[in-house]
Structure 1
Amino acid sequence: MEQPQSHQAEEGSRRAWWEERWFVALLVLLSAVPLLYPTVPPLVDLPGHMGRYRVQLDVDSSPWLWRYYGFHWAPIGNLGVDLLIWPLGKLMGLEPAVKLVVLAIPPLTVAGFLWVAREVHGRLPPTALFALPFAYAHPFMYGFVNYALSIALAFLAFGLWLRLGRINRTQLRAILFVPISVIVFFTHTYGWGVLGLLCFSAEAVRQHDRGGGWFRSVFWAGLQASTMALPVLIMAAWRGETHGGMIRGWFEWGKKWEYVIQALRDRWEWFDQGSLLIVAALLMVALFHRKLSFSRNLLFSAFVLLVGYVLIPRTIFGSTYADMRLVPFVIAVALLSIRFREPGQSQLARTVAVAGLAFVLVRFGAHTASLGMAAADQNAKLEALNHVPMGARVASMIGQKQCNLAWEMPRNSHLGGMVIVRKHGFSNDQWAIQGQNLLDLRYHSPGVFRADPSEMVRAMHCRRRTAWRVDLAFRMLPHDKLDYLWLIDPPPINPAWTKDMTEVWRGPHSVLYRLHP
């Protein structure tokens, strides 16, 4: 029977330095450092989301926004940051509110990781430090902020689930997790799904360790986890009101392997993949080293998440990268499951603790540098908005660096959303996917340039069937339906394409043109 190590003995034994509360608090605070400098966190999709937040806050009072967009509240499983922005944006302004909420996500995630490890092992193993950089994993850097917030809440809730199970307060747990599951669901559906899988798998192991067979244990675990089933009814009603949300991309093994090696993707491929190799090496060492073992509880949870990753398609209800979002947390849970067979302050444990702290500092330091570079670049490009009048209709063409995948995150892909944020204007970068967000598109006149992904263009030599090439984009640009063209990191263009436009501003890898019907 697996029991948390040293729950009884820990009070009478001296804790190692990596288990001290001050050190845990320091780790949580350190995880916020990479986001302190940027005024607007330079996460790929975030400026686009901020455009929606501006509509949410001001569409009823702005003399311009209502011409282009509408906004309606609906009970969908994708509301986390949107709900928080409603009071905070009115209190402190949109951009500070967004920074505050996004800044809180990595510390909440780190706190959740550490709580889960503490509950499962009875004390904090130094190997858990290697999981902390996954708070800045690929999905977070892509700007999936509702999802990232839901995952942070899911791990905190999972820590509470484990604790209440450990002290046999299962009735209280059943009551508490009805509202908790609803909160996580409305933050983001995927986070609710992850929470359900984590709690079900952990409870199955707990029931088995109490002497039940696996069939009986799985049955009782499902019964316990059913307290989190209320959002199923909400989701059925929500999906019953929408149409056309596609599900596709089943078992695309090439893509699934790409998402694995991109789990820590940020800017420097050699560095990010090297970091992932360190993590993989630790997992392999834990398999064979006589002083290390795994918690069956968390290892089974990691396995259940892995099965979920294999089965989930790439696109669900029109939301892309559904499976990719799960990968980093499969790895993080596997890392959190590692423990020492003989807990204590052995030389090996101290060495691992120092190595883990170094890994955390290097990764967080790299994210600080990377996000700082991206923020400085975006601030320079955003000077263009000083030359755009309020309510202007702006089409962005944002160059994608390669015909296929470039490792560095395409952070400027939705920078055009800041036209909505700061100028209450029209931007062609918003998502028009029914049932996925609360924004309504009213201005359809620009045709293909009315919504995402018309803003992302590639070089003329890109001949992929789905490539939106810059020459095609210029050819189809409706000059009479838009006021400005904003080129951001553009691929090479023919000067003849802009001869009928007036250059208004030029900055680093960015040009703003006035269009003339």
Structure 2
Amino acid sequence: MFSFRPASRSSFKNSDWWQNPFYILGLILLSAVPLFWPELPPLTDAPGHLGRYRVELGIHQSPWLHQWYSFDWHLVGNLGFDLFIIPLAHLFGLELGLKIGVIIMVMVTAAGLLAVAKAVHGKIPPTAAFALPFIYGFPFQFGFLNYCLSMALTFNAFALWITLKNSPYLRAFIFIPFGIIIWSCHSYGWGILGLLCFSADFSSDYRHARRNNQPILSALFQAGYKSALAMLPLLPPILLMILWRSGHVSDGNGDWFRFDLKIEWVLSALRDRWQNFDIASIGVACFILLLGRLRLAPPMGLACFILLIAYICLPRILLSAAFADMRLAPYIFASALVGLKAPKNQNFARIAAIAACLFFTIRTAATTVSFWFYDQGYQKQLKAVDFMAPGSRVLAMVSTPCLMTWVSNHMSHLPAMATVRKDAFTNSEWAIAGQQLLTIHFPEAKRFIHDPSQSLYPRQCRFRGSADLDKTLESFPRQAFDYFWLMDIPPSLWPHEDDLIPIWSGENGILYKIDHRFTTVSSMLSAPKSGSKPKAVPAVK
């Protein structure tokens, strides 16, 4: 795919600088710069993943975690970072291991996109750098780590698939395990790999048949047959899928053809912090594609068309995983941009290369600054963890913006860091049957046992059963928890309950220790006298 062998000075003199191996290597390394400074990858779901990894790696050593959690290894198409973190945590520790793992994932994705460009065009086109900022698209910002890891591997595998087109037996031998590995990371990545590989072979076989003067229908049939046959090495995960979905899994497919959301996801493909800037960046990408008159290299033209059809047809929820369609949007842009043919005019090609380099640099700088801001917010709130006793039980409430609010604080799962650092129970973990290996068993917590009981949304976007601060204060079981933690909530909303003792406060954050003695006395005073009829408790609807 890439060749980083040193070249003579004369060979670089007449070559295009955007094909210089050192420039390509620089793009790959610089793509990870936004992650260098933050102590934790400031991605919404990342702290929740870390909490699960702490249970995964430490449940048998911790004297507390087994009280509330179970971790059962079994086959699911969603194991990417759950497996990747094991060697990383042993080498670097859990938190640093995750950071290094995400950095590696970003660089592997960048290498994969550029490898696809090289495989498709035979050389790196001048516009290839336009694609790299889409690595930090909305799915990445959300912290869909397993999915993003599967996409990193998918693009590299797709480049290898194209490269080995003329070695079908070798390709088949290699891609039997490759398909299984990518499916194990995340089943969506395996599905997208199948679409990409079929598109590439169909496009190549159809053009070959037409060059041999075969009729259109005959060429279509022959290309479809040969391409379907070539897909056989990628089919073994279908058996794994049957085994996976035949077990106890959550039933979740729905919200089909929400075109209002699909348009929103396209505009949000580079969503981060500055709405006008992020949407303008999408406009720049569209302008580049239109300026190139959508002249995509043959494999990528059909591939992007099929991915677009898949994007339109996918529901918002698929196999119990939310935002199934949204996850695809940035990668359609990235695929189209690496597939764009180079301008024929050499001067225009140089201008395009400079523009791509500037776009990559500006977006990378903006993401670096944005991630620094997120990290500052994280560190201010995480000071509360130092005041928690190990093995405690923490009820957290986090101010969470509405989904359609452009700027997020990325904090909705930050309470899980108490699990990571203090082996504590927190109510911010998620456990979807058939999707994760984590099980939560803490009935004393009642409805405050898992996500989204920690998310305090603005009133205009609260859904049925979502958290409310006043109702939570009235109803949460005091005896089941040791601390009450408010994050990114202004002091004007902080409660002043007699049994909540403030032990730490910072900017828009406060930690209370729950006085169980007061709660016990209150329970005794409110208990019915012997022989009296207890009062009925209204049902929660």
**TM-score, normalised to structure 2's length?**
0.89
| 2:309 paired with 1:311 | no
**Partner residue, 1:458:** 457
**Partner residue, 2:80:** 80
Compute the displacement of 1:236 (Å). 0.5
Compute the displacement of 1:470 (Å). 2.5
C-alpha distance in 2 between matches for 1:411 and 1:193 = 28
Unaligned runs of 5+ in 2: 1-10, 211-218, 520-541
Pick which of 445-454 and 474-483 moved more. Answer: 474-483
Compute the displacement of 1:37 (Å). 0.7
C-alpha distance in 1 between matches for 2:356 and 2:472 = 48
C-alpha distance in 1 between matches for 2:116 and 2:273 = 29
Secondary structure of 2:43's match?
Answer: coil
Write the deviation string for residues 229-267 of structure 1: whole angstroms up to 9, x where unpaired.
100100100110123321111111111111111000111
**TM-score, normalised to structure 1's length?**
0.93
**Partner residue, 2:501:** 502
Write the deviation string for residues 387-438 of structure 1: whole angstroms up to 9, x where unpaired.
0000010011001235x52111341110011011000010101112101111
Paired letter, 1:311: C
Pick which of 194-203 and 495-504 moved more. Answer: 495-504
Secondary structure of 1:219's match?
Answer: helix
**Partner residue, 1:8:** none
Paired letter, 2:47: P
**Partner residue, 1:5:** none
Write the deviation string for residues 310-335 of structure 1: whole angstroms up to 9, x where unpaired.
11111112111111101111111111
**Partner residue, 1:322:** 324
Distance 1:383 1:495, change over 3 A: closer
Compute the displacement of 1:497 (Å). 5.4
Paired letter, 2:73: W
C-alpha distance in 2 between matches for 1:104 and 1:412 = 23
- Matching of residues 148-163 of structure 1 within 5 Å: 148-163=148-163
Compute the displacement of 1:365 (Å). 0.5
Compute the displacement of 1:496 (Å). 5.2
**Partner residue, 2:336:** 334
| 2:427 paired with 1:435 | no
**Partner residue, 1:7:** none
Write the deviation string for residues 436-467 of structure 1: whole angstroms up to 9, x where unpaired.
11111121211111000111012456665565
State whether residues 198 and 231 of structure 2, in contact with CA within 8 Å, keep that contact through their aligned partners in structure 1.
yes
Paired letter, 2:299: N
C-alpha distance in 1 between matches for 2:483 and 2:420 = 16
Secondary structure of 2:444's match?
Answer: coil
Paired letter, 1:230: P
State whether residues 470 and 493 of structure 1, in contact with CA within 8 Å, keep that contact through their aligned partners in structure 2.
no
Paired letter, 1:267: R
Secondary structure of 2:127's match?
Answer: helix
Secondary structure of 2:379's match?
Answer: helix
Secondary structure of 1:398's match?
Answer: strand
State whether residues 71 and 439 of structure 1, in contact with CA within 8 Å, keep that contact through their aligned partners in structure 2.
yes
| 2:303 paired with 1:301 | yes
Compute the displacement of 1:152 (Å). 0.4
**Partner residue, 2:243:** 237
C-alpha distance in 1 between matches for 2:259 and 2:491 = 34
Paired letter, 1:233: L
**Partner residue, 1:408:** 407
Secondary structure of 2:443's match?
Answer: coil
Q: State how many pairs are aligned.
A: 498
C-alpha distance in 1 between matches for 2:179 and 2:27 = 27
Alignment equivalent of 1:264, drawn from 239, 259, 270: 270
**Partner residue, 1:200:** 198
Write the deviation string for residues 42-77 of structure 1: whole angstroms up to 9, x where unpaired.
100000000000001110010011111111111111
**Partner residue, 2:289:** 283
Secondary structure of 1:287's match?
Answer: coil
Unaligned runs of 5+ in 1: 1-10
State whether residues 503 and 512 of structure 1, in contact with CA within 8 Å, keep that contact through their aligned partners in structure 2.
yes
C-alpha distance in 1 between matches for 2:464 and 2:64 = 37
Give the structure with higher Rg (CA).
2
C-alpha distance in 2 between matches for 1:386 and 1:353 = 49
Distance 1:479 1:215, change over 3 A: same
Pick which of 331-340 and 32-41 moved more. Answer: 331-340
Paired letter, 2:52: R
Secondary structure of 1:448's match?
Answer: coil
Paired letter, 2:470: D
C-alpha distance in 2 between matches for 1:91 and 1:472 = 45
Alignment equivalent of 2:229, drawn from 209, 219, 223: 223
State whether residues 462 and 469 of structure 1, in contact with CA within 8 Å, keep that contact through their aligned partners in structure 2.
no
